[in-house]
Amino acid sequence: MLSIPTTLEEATAQGKASAQTALESGFGIVAVEINVPEIALQAQTIALEFTKLFESYGSGLKVLFPDTGAAALARRDWAEIEFKVTDLGSRVSSVETRVAEDDEIFLIVSPSAVEVAQVEKLCNLAGDRPVVLLLPQLEDVSVVGIGYAARQLRDRFISKIETAYYYKPIDGGAIIRAFPSLWEVQLDTENGGYTLIASEPTKPMGDTLDILINQATKGDSNNEVTAKPKKRGVLGSLQQFLKALSQ
């Protein structure tokens, strides 16, 4: 049973360890998702912490932000750094120009569905060089869509991404995954802890997630309760976490 993070530092540390394990296991494109409110405001801070994983690469590390403004802000705030910081390209400067022969590993920060084409192209250009997607929003079906083009995108690219770390609070609990573990659904308990109600090979979503929670909270046909989650809600269960984000 995985430990549910209560602070941003804990989640970041778990994400770093999981990403490193996934990369060492041979995965070429890995994602680290911390799906909590206001996390985008902390993207630069988390990205800088993640660069420590790749200090051995020196200038071979390239950090890419979705736009020129975010990249310029990071360069200003980070001051003296050995690695390179840029953006994913624009109308006047394509993503092809962002990949150089001396680049050894890529860290893409907060890419969304808007940048998915650029991210896919960069991953193709990277070849055998690893790519880490930090705080991505590429699997949001409500943004990407559910038509033929979206299915092609998922089959062609999204399906190749290995989720090294995933944390998302849900009402009364959380979904968490830390490579190489399975996807876990945990519910709050009356004593303030968590209980594991399911371990799944793929991310539980929608009806599947609802069924797992209903089975755990309502029990079997004899109505025997198997879990008693505290109904604190998402914000209640994340009070300490969100407090850390605001500091």
The pLDDT tens digits for 44-64 are 999 999 999 999 999 999 999
Instruction: Note the pLDDT of residue 146.
Output: 55
Q: Can you tell me the distance from the alpha carbon of 107 to that of 111, in angstroms, rounded to the nearest whole number?
A: 10
Write out the H or E segment, with its range, that includes residue 13: helix 8-24
Please name the residues in contact with 36: beta carbons below 8 A apart, sequence gap of 6 or more.
167, 168, 169, 238, 241, 242, 245
SS3 state at 107 = strand
Residue-level pLDDT at 237: 43
Q: What is the mean pLDDT of the chain?
A: 86
Per-residue pLDDT of 79-120, as tens digits, reads 889 999 999 998 788 999 999 999 999 999 999 888 999 999
pLDDT digits (tens, 9 = 90+) for 120-174: 999 999 999 999 999 998 765 434 455 667 778 878 888 899 999 999 999 899 9
Residue ranges covered by each domain of the chain: 8-168, 181-246
**pTM for this structure?**
0.87
Q: What local confidence, expressed as pLDDT, does residue 217 receive?
A: 87
CATH number of 8-168, picked from 3.20.20, 3.15.10, 3.40.50, 3.30.70: 3.40.50
Tokens describing residue 193: 């802890």
pLDDT at 141: 42
